[in-house]
Amino acid sequence: MSTIYSYRQLYNFSKTIFLKIGCDEKDAETATRSLLSADLRGVDSHGVARLSGYIRLWDAGRVNAKPAITIMHETPSTAVINGDRGLGLVVAPFAMQVAIEKAGAVGTGWVSVKNSNHFGIAGHHAMMALEHDMIGIAMTNASALVAPTFSKERMLGTNPIAVAIPAGKQPAFVADFATTTAANGKLEILQRKNETMPAGWALTKDGEPSTDPGEIKNGGSLLPLGGDKEHGSHKGYALGAIVDIFSGILSGASYGPWVPPFPAYIPMPENMPGEGIGHFFGVMRIDAFRKADEFKEHMDNWINRFRTAKTIAGQEKVIIPGDPEREIEARRMKNGIPLLGAVVKDLTELGERFKTAL
Amino acid sequence: MSTIYSYRQLYNFSKTIFLKIGCDEKDAETATRSLLSADLRGVDSHGVARLSGYIRLWDAGRVNAKPAITIMHETPSTAVINGDRGLGLVVAPFAMQVAIEKAGAVGTGWVSVKNSNHFGIAGHHAMMALEHDMIGIAMTNASALVAPTFSKERMLGTNPIAVAIPAGKQPAFVADFATTTAANGKLEILQRKNETMPAGWALTKDGEPSTDPGEIKNGGSLLPLGGDKEHGSHKGYALGAIVDIFSGILSGASYGPWVPPFPAYIPMPENMPGEGIGHFFGVMRIDAFRKADEFKEHMDNWINRFRTAKTIAGQEKVIIPGDPEREIEARRMKNGIPLLGAVVKDLTELGERFKTAL
């Protein structure tokens, strides 16, 4: 079913493809690291499986391989960045670097980005702050798939939020999650296996509850975290809305139902109120609040206490956000990354087009 | 069942009580406004019904009516504040004011607070930013009632998050929610009515699912937003954890299972790793990103579009976060605030003790 590739193999292949579409050396490396961080961390839907999708956006003229990423407006702790239709995989690390420098200077940095594209996994960007003893925050809007509470219309993307917090002897706390009950990728997996979907994940296009994982393909909608009103879906809807507003409206990107789609064959929304996809990044320097060593000792204490919390029947331990992804990364860096047959076929065709072997 | 009181009546009564325990004039007014904002906005569990609870904390020596609230450490965009065991109802507005001033100077302000007490509703504090054309964020940790995913142990509070975002012709977007599936107050209401609770709200003390709204009183736990792993409870758990870390560990407050309880009869946790309850506040000046007028026009467009999204059967409209609370506030400011018999009795006794009539 799947073939194992080393990180190095996928790195060289992806970097070559990015170079072939015209990225410069540094951008090709940055884009490759952003993209493959998803494969390493087990988020297979957002990694190299999407490489040909990014290239189709470039084919369609929606991605600029040589963007002039610029700061449009700034204050000591903020900036708005124009991504110039660049790959989000490149624009996002640029913006995080600006936020890190501002945090170094005045304690925190907050950067809203317009005119970008999909940036891969949010957690990768948030984690850039960790080595500086800073907290990193990353979020992005995305094309609409999610119906607000009481609605059956796709109005918001899965709008993920990532927060990375350094610890001392313990590994960092890294939360990275879509503001929906379940990610779209999970529906696709169930559909491939011909299985049903739990109630509370999605609605039919007419707004009825459903357990058919094919609903999204049929025009249905994903549900916000919480699922239904009784279980707090208005909170998941509010979270997704906040991500949309911070990413889209603060920056001048598009927002809500007007966010450009990832699949290049879907036409662009009409009457877009802004430019491209929007992201939002935040960085807080720990010692702008208290001594970093003290903070990290307490983070270790927090993590140790939560790891040893009493479990419900059938569960061995309580998980600290970031634990599973870190374990997968260590394993895949050592043993390689498994790719499904369909992904290998897709990448092989891409390689043939650009005359490079996988 | 309930008696109607005007805002003015409850204001004068509450202010008098705060003066009687030794608050100065300004703090008594600030505390009263913070407290009664909950009654006005329909969050009856967090308003004047809790006044006698705050006084019992003062009786127990856990609340300092004359706090010397001080900035312990700061950078241009950050501060850590020591609340000196003051009422959170007073400490929180002080901290928000610091954040607003920093945002005025360098674009954003971020303030973590230790050694405080319960601060009422988060939304009231977040909304302080609105009149300055700023976005306000408020969160707080609280004593542990919530079990992380896979756990049956109370490790986190209901840890609410509020975000207030200004609009133009439309009213502001104001989200204010606990990071749990349902608030504890909802369980209490069902218990009084002798009704069952939906699955996915709480566990028994042994970690089994339950529909008995008395579980919390029996030592059970609330569930994080999402309810169970299948519906994304690890995301609600991560959100509650982030609130705890930003509020508790950045500031030097207590955190996790060691956060001091609100009911004065419950003993303080042993071996607390920090001082008191922690809060976290953020303020972002809109024009640190883009012109405030432009931003507000797009917020109006966002709100109009979401308000007119297609609804599911049986629902008239999609709600914008803050709509219901604003409507209740307008009604209660005009027609008065209904208090349940038990609350009136409690306040009457409090008035007798302090020789002031309700």
**In this model, does residue B193 exceed pLDDT 90?**
no
Contact B78 A289 (CB under 8 A): yes
Q: Rounded to two decimals, what is the model's pTM?
A: 0.98
Contact B76 A73 (CB under 8 A): no
- Cα separation, B356 vs B222, whole angstroms: 38
Q: Rounded to the nearest 10 degrees, what angle do helices A51-59 and A7-20 cross at? A: 0
User: Pairing between strand B70-75 and B2-5?
Assistant: unpaired
User: Tokens 């209401």 identify what position?
Assistant: B189
Contact A311 B151 (CB under 8 A): yes
- Cα separation, B143 vs B262, whole angstroms: 7
User: Starting at the edge strand that comes first in sequence, how are the strands of the sheet with A78-82 ordered?
Assistant: A70-75, A78-82, A108-116, A277-285, A134-140, A161-165, A173-177
**In this model, does residue B1 exceed pLDDT 80?**
no
Superfamily (CATH H level) for B182-222: Hypothetical oxidoreductase yiak; domain 3 (3.30.60.50)
Instruction: Identify the residue among B231, B284, B308 best suited for mutation to test binding to A, counting A beta carbons within 10 A and taking the highest.
Output: B231
- Cα separation, A121 vs A125, whole angstroms: 8
- Cα separation, B167 vs B175, whole angstroms: 14
Give me the tens of pLDDT residue by residue for chain A, a chain 358 residues long: 799 999 999 999 999 999 999 999 999 999 999 999 999 999 998 999 999 999 999 999 999 999 999 999 999 999 999 999 999 999 999 999 999 999 999 999 999 999 999 999 999 999 999 999 999 999 999 999 999 999 999 999 999 999 999 999 999 999 999 999 998 878 888 888 899 999 999 999 999 999 999 999 999 999 999 999 999 999 999 999 999 999 999 999 999 999 999 999 999 999 999 999 999 999 999 999 999 999 999 999 999 999 999 999 999 999 999 999 999 999 999 999 999 999 999 999 999 999 999 8
Q: Which CATH number fits domain A2-181+223-291+327-353: 3.90.420.10, 3.40.50.620, 3.30.2130.10, 3.30.1370.60?
A: 3.30.1370.60
H or E, element range at A51: helix A51-59
ipTM of the complex as predicted: 0.98
Would you kindly state where each structural domain of chain B is located, as residue ranges?
Answer: 2-181+223-291+327-353, 182-222, 296-320
**Residue B55: exposed, middle, or buried by beta-carbon count in 10 A (0-12, 13-18, 19+)?**
buried
Q: From A106, A114, A141, select the one nearest A283 (Cα to Cα).
A: A106
As given in the structure block, the two tokens for residue B67 are: 């706090």
Chain A residues with CB-CB distance to B273 below 8 A: 298, 301
What amino acid occupies position B206?
D
Contact A108 B165 (CB under 8 A): no
Q: Which tens digit of pLDDT belongs to each residue from B50-92? A: 999 999 999 999 999 999 999 999 999 999 999 999 999 999 9
Contact A76 B75 (CB under 8 A): no
Reduced to 3 states, what is the DSSP secondary structure of residue B115? strand
Which of B77, B149, B226 has the CB atom closest to A226's CB atom?
A: B226
Q: Measured between CA atoms, how close is B24 to chain A, in angstroms?
A: 29
**pLDDT score of A173:** 98
Chain B residues with CB-CB distance to A80 below 8 A: 289-290
User: Tokens 């529906």 identify what position?
Assistant: A187
The pLDDT mean for chain B works out to 97
**pLDDT score of B91:** 98
Q: For residue B188, name the pLDDT band (cuts at 50, 70, 90).
A: confident
Q: Which tens digit of pLDDT belongs to each residue from B277-312? A: 999 999 999 999 999 999 999 999 999 999 999 999
**pLDDT score of B185:** 79
H or E, element range at B4: strand B2-5
Contact A110 B106 (CB under 8 A): no
Q: Is the dihedral of CA B237, B239, B245, B251 positive or negative?
A: negative
**pLDDT score of A192:** 81
As given in the structure block, the two tokens for residue A62 are: 């929606």
Q: Is the dihedral of CA B96, A125, A279, A99 positive or negative?
A: positive
Helix H segments across chain B? 7-20, 25-40, 51-59, 88-106, 122-126, 184-193, 233-244, 292-307, 323-335, 341-353
**How many A×B Cβ pairs under 8 Å?**
255
Chain B residues with CB-CB distance to A149 below 8 A: 318-319
Contact A232 B177 (CB under 8 A): yes
User: Pairing between strand A277-285 and A134-140?
Assistant: antiparallel
Contact A295 B234 (CB under 8 A): no
Buried b / exposed e along A60-96 (16+ C-beta atoms within 10 A): eebbbbebebeebbbbbbbbbbbbbbbbbbbbbbbbb
Q: Which tens digit of pLDDT belongs to each residue from B203-239? A: 999 999 999 999 999 999 999 999 999 999 999 999 9
**pLDDT score of B191:** 86
- Cα separation, B133 vs A157, whole angstroms: 27
Chain B residues with CB-CB distance to A252 below 8 A: 290, 294
As given in the structure block, the two tokens for residue A231 are: 């279980």
**In this model, does residue B132 exceed pLDDT 90?**
yes
